Amino acid sequence: MKKLKLIMIILIILIILLIIVAITGYYILKYLYPQEYKEYVEKYSKMYGVEEELVYAMIKEESNFNQEANSHKSAIGLMQLVQETADEVGLELGLENVNLQDPETNIRIGTKYLSDLIEKYDGNVKFAIIAYNAGIGNVDKWIDTKVLDEDGSNMEEVPFKETNMYLRKVLRTYEIYKKLY
């Protein structure tokens, strides 16, 4: 009888602990995958037809929400844009003197650029993500030379290891954002 009571108490404690872990786990994930700069992400995602969760995933993986981030390849800001690309997109948007460390400007241009890539690749988000990292020229070459299938079914064949890992990280983070928000 005492053993049965002890087992019941242990089971109740374990159930309570599991509930606590489940609840706090959700909040920990929301902390690790925040929705910083929400007003800009919402505004420009809607304006350029890109899912908010994808924009958040790109920002998370590119800069981890550090607006002052700079890469060894001269990429700047939240969405890690190179100035040349930002200037081209900015010109298209009627912007002059693009400041990539300004969060709104960076998110606007990065989201527009991502939208352009998604459109260029006929809605194929994976190709857009790869091109965002490796460049349009490389993706076009890989499609033309049949390294990548036109339908995007063999994305694991991306020749650049860094880009291959980048694609996987962005897609994983994208899925987490879709489940969390």
62: annotated active-site residue: yes
Report the pLDDT value the prediction gives residue 78, as an integer from 0 to 100: 98
Number of domains in the chain: 2
Q: Are residues 104 and 16 in the same domain?
A: no
Cβ distance 175 to 169 under 8 Å? no
Spatial separation of the C-alpha atoms in residues 163 and 160, rounded to whole Å:
5
Q: Are residues 110 and 153 in the same domain?
A: yes
Report the pLDDT value the prediction gives residue 173, as an integer from 0 to 100: 98
Q: Are residues 52 and 5 in the same domain?
A: no
Q: Are residues 44 and 129 in the same domain?
A: yes
pTM: predicted TM-score of the whole model, two decimal places:
0.89
Under DSSP, the state recorded for 76 is: E
Q: What is the CATH number of the domain that holds 47?
A: 1.10.530.10
Spatial separation of the C-alpha atoms in residues 117 and 100, rounded to whole Å:
19
Report the pLDDT value the prediction gives residue 77, as an integer from 0 to 100: 98
Q: Are residues 114 and 51 in the same domain?
A: yes
Report the pLDDT value the prediction gives residue 55, as an integer from 0 to 100: 98
Catalytic residue among 53, 62, 150, 157: 62
Question: Which residue numbers in the chain have pLDDT < 70?
Answer: none
Q: Are residues 14 and 85 in the same domain?
A: no
